[in-house]
Amino acid sequence: MSSVYKLFNSYFPLTIQNDYNWIWYTHTLGKIRFFLWLCVHNCLPTNSYLFRLNITSSGNCPICNSEEETIPHIFLRCPIAIEFWTSLNISIPSDHPQWILHFLQSNQPLENRHLTWTCFLPFALWHIWLNRNNNVFKQCSSPVPIPNLISRVLEFLFSTKPLKKDITKINFSVKWFPPSCTGLKFNFDGAFNSNSLNHGIGVVFRDSAGNWSAGFFNKAKGINACHMELQAFHEGLMLAISKNLSVSEIETDAIDIINMLDQPPPLFSNLLSLCRSALRNLENPQIRYNFREGNKVAHKLATEGPKRATTYDMVFLMEPPPWLFELFH
């Protein structure tokens, strides 16, 4: 907690820190420590910084153009940053950054994801910065992909040292995010029910406004959960190709499937090679992991759909069915 306090302290001139050695002891990745070091020394190549060096023609924020692009602007006041903190249920008054210090000092447990503030915050700032760079490069204004960020923090925590018992719990309301650029996002899921034959797969395609473009469920046969997920993935890809859908992102909570694309197990190698070739056909859309909460529409299609199906034919849905209405909206 103290390092976070110092981190934010150092951003704002109200309390001046001269000793930044704490950064080198922060429990995070080396590149993020270096990034923090640049932040606290005000050397991050923001537009404001580059303008002072006569490298850019304007010091304004290249994304919102509402004011000078300073470090506090990027991390607190830019609409992208506001959206980021808002979706994590953290309200930050843009005109009073000291409020953050009070918030951090309050040590308020937010929700139930097992992350430490000291670990989460450097990653969060780093991802806001990466996202800013990506937006500037692609000339778009995509939100920070929070599920990706959380996965990175968890990955780091679990691969470094065990969590302490007294960690501060943070609760994130994980949700579905629209695709970051043009094109559709498709979410898929499979459901395996060892007590019945109601296994199923579900796929939903949505556009950048979150509108339903297409979806389907299928009562399907399979040997385990992974097999169902893989079938959902494959059927979704095939539908995208047959309907000529422009897919820019694919998302699922089926982490096994994402891992399998790198290291195909012998059992499903045929299905996986079909998926790989379909992905190439779709010009390799980005594949992302999201938590189950962000993949719940596809999950509901995979679990509820098969209970309503009498045959093994695909049930194509031009719009969300009534039993999905509440979840979808």
Q: How far is the CB of 65 from Zn ion (least distance, A)?
A: 7
Report how far residue 52's alpha carbon sits from residue 59's, in angstroms, rounded to the nearest whole number. Answer: 8
Binding residues for Zn ion, how many (CB under 5 A)?
Answer: 4
Q: Which of 61, 257 has the CB closer to Zn ion?
A: 61
Name the H helices within the chain: 2-11, 30-40, 47-52, 71-72, 79-87, 98-106, 117-138, 146-159, 225-242, 255-262, 269-281, 296-308, 322-328
The set of residues, in sequence order, having a beta carbon less than 8 Å from that of 219 and lying 6+ positions away, is 198, 199, 200, 305, 306, 309, 311, 312
Q: Which of 50, 267 has the CB closer to Zn ion?
A: 50
Q: Does 136 bind Zn ion (CB under 5 A)?
A: no
Q: Which of 94, 151 has the CB closer to Zn ion?
A: 94
Report how far residue 223's alpha carbon sits from residue 192's, in angstroms, rounded to the nearest whole number. Answer: 8
Phi, psi values for residue 180, rounded to 5°: -75, -25
Widest distance between CA atoms in the chain: 70
Interface pattern 68-87 for Zn ion (x via CB under 5 A): ----------x---------
Q: How far is the CB of 40 from Zn ion (least distance, A)?
A: 21
Q: Compute how many other C-beta atoms are within 10 angstroms of the C-beta atom of residue 316.
A: 12
Q: How far is the CB of 28 from Zn ion (least distance, A)?
A: 25
Q: Compute how many other C-beta atoms are within 10 angstroms of the C-beta atom of residue 267.
A: 14
Q: Which of 83, 293 has the CB closer to Zn ion?
A: 83
Q: How far is the CB of 7 from Zn ion (least distance, A)?
A: 21
Q: Which of 64, 110 has the CB closer to Zn ion?
A: 64
Question: Scanning residues 206 to 235, which ones bind Zn ion (CB under 5 A)?
Answer: none
Q: Which of 64, 274 has the CB closer to Zn ion?
A: 64
Report how far residue 310's alpha carbon sits from residue 291's, in angstroms, rounded to the nearest whole number. Answer: 30
Question: Scanning residues 32 to 71, which ones bind Zn ion (CB under 5 A)?
Answer: 61, 63-64
Q: How far is the CB of 125 from Zn ion (least distance, A)?
A: 15
Length of the chain: 329
Question: Scanning residues 233 to 252, which ones bind Zn ion (CB under 5 A)?
Answer: none
In one letter, which amino acid is 96?
Answer: H
Phi, psi values for residue 173, rounded to 5°: -85, 100
Q: Which of 46, 252 has the CB closer to Zn ion?
A: 46
Q: How far is the CB of 88 from Zn ion (least distance, A)?
A: 19
Residue ranges binding Zn ion (CB under 5 A)? 61, 63-64, 78
